Structure 1
């Protein structure tokens, strides 16, 4: 399934959903700082990290797997 989606789609989603909202700082950055400092304890913050982190995880998986042609 992941091989059938173009790399550009993963990049676009990671740059939009993965970084939103852009001001005052991206949520993913805020949540990673909370995780590093040990203050990521509320369920909503953990969910927020998962939602904004998933596009980046999928992009990394896609890059590791490489650009393979879709099998039909």
Structure 2
């Protein structure tokens, strides 16, 4: 069993949902931070290291949730 699989199995689905709603979308006004960073990425203005780190930090809960839903518990 890989380390990622063990991590995904250990994280409850509700906790990942909560992380997406809090860390993933914070701050909520005037627009979610991840949305701002995705717009910067699409426009080609995501160049500063702090902005790239910000995108990775806010996207991590969504990536983990997608992996959990995709590779959830399957028979080995």
TM-score if structure 1 supplies the norm length?
0.88
Aligned residues: 68
CA offsets 1:11-64 (integer angstroms, 9 cap, x no match): 110110000000011110000000000000011100100110111100100110
Structure 1 residue ranges (4+ consecutive) displaced by more than 3 angstroms after TM superposition: none
- The reply on whether 1:2 has 2:14 as its aligned counterpart is no
Structure number with higher relative contact order (C-alpha < 8 Å, ≥ 6 residues apart): 1
Equivalent residue for 2:51?
45
Gapped runs of 5+ residues in structure 1?
none
Aligned mates of 1:24, 1:4 — CA distance in 2: 34
User: After superposition, where does 1:12-23 map in structure 2 within 5 Å?
Assistant: 12-23=18-29
Asked if 1:29 corresponds to 2:35, the answer is: yes
Q: For 2:19, what is the secondary structure of its paired residue?
A: helix
What is the deviation of 1:10? 0.5
